[in-house]
Amino acid sequence: MAAGLTPAQAAGLPGWRIVATVVTPGDATQLTSIAIADQRHAWAVGISQVKPGAFAPVVEEWDGSAWAPVSVPPDVVANLGAKPLLDAVAASSPTNMWAFTATGGWLHWNGVWTAGRIAKSPIEIGSTLVFGQSNVWAFGEARPAHGAASPYAARFDGPGGWKRSSVPGTNGISAASAVNSTDIWATLGQPEFTFGGGKGGGLVHWFRGRWHRVSSFPSQLRNASLGSVLARSDTDVWVGGAMKNSKHGTTEAIGRWNGHKWTVITLRARATANGYRVTSLVSDGAGGIWALGNCLASSNCSPGSPWRLWHETAGNWSRPIQPRLSSHNTVLDSLAPVAHSVWAAGAIHEGSSANGIVALWGRAPS
């Protein structure tokens, strides 16, 4: 197999490429999160810096044939707060999309736009799960003025509004993945775009109506800068993070629970001073997994190589690849699977400016 070619590409599936570029007025635009409603509907969100110190949310929609910008009314945007950085999005249908800002604002589309705040207290949101109009989760970290930060999970149940759910452990919730609406797994760490950058933690599991600390979680992953989780079943749970390397940086690491024991590996790559960690894990639609590693949350992150991709097939992980998406520097922030393809959200940097991008692996869903 030619160097850098994944098994799927060798079999004839299209490789990674940019399929949409998002240009908005201002200095810089970045897409931070992407979500699938169904094969013909997807959403990507992010932020645009319209001028120094002034920001606007960015929303893009896939209609089965093309990506196009979506306008959010200014009075709705005002309800998001002063810094409307949309960094988490999920959808259960084409008319039920929820997006969240890093500081706890929510944006909802159900045929009309609404927005608000989850809580008055200081919180940071970096992940969400949406199961229905009245079953939505937001995850992140509570940051009180005094005392230690703690994991934050809040659930929207419709008439009752947002209610915080007690989660054991320390540090924030960096990612969540669901087998179904009553079976959720979440990693304790820090989301990619929150302050402090990816400290270690553990794993918690929502079942029987409450959160449980996963006592079997291996010690080598408790300080592994956890940033992602993929729960395909209760006997097939993957977590992604990082391990320290010989160059005083970190290299991506993966843990897998098979229902009986954990297997932990550090992915094969040349050690660098970059602070890489796995920030997204998704199924590839053919039994394998794509993992996105980046160093955006680290103080050590080379501008020319802030991200790379890994592909698992039949139990084996490829060496890292960074597809050449453009002649300019690019970054990918998150992945989302649909059928036998994978969408990615990110940005392309040209000097001091940036434009958002949507990239795709596999054939365009339709």
Q: What would the DSSP string read from start to end of 33-44? A: EEEEEETTEEEE
Per-chain mean pLDDT for the chain: 91
Rounded alpha-carbon distances, angstroms, from residue 85 to 80, 136, 167 = 9, 19, 25
How many Å is the Cα radius of gyration of the chain?
19
Q: Which amino acid type is present at position 66?
A: A
pLDDT one-digit tens code per residue, 300-347: 898 888 999 999 999 999 999 999 999 999 999 999 999 999 999 999
The Cα 242–Cα 264 span in angstroms is 11
Q: Which residues on neighbouring strands pair with residue 289, listed in sequence order?
A: 283, 312
pTM beyond 0.85, yes or no: yes
Averaged over 22-41, what is the pLDDT? Answer: 92
What six digits make up the tokens of 244? 């320290």
pLDDT one-digit tens code per residue, 167-201: 998 889 999 999 999 999 999 986 554 433 445 57
57-66, 143-152, 309-318: lowest mean pLDDT where?
143-152
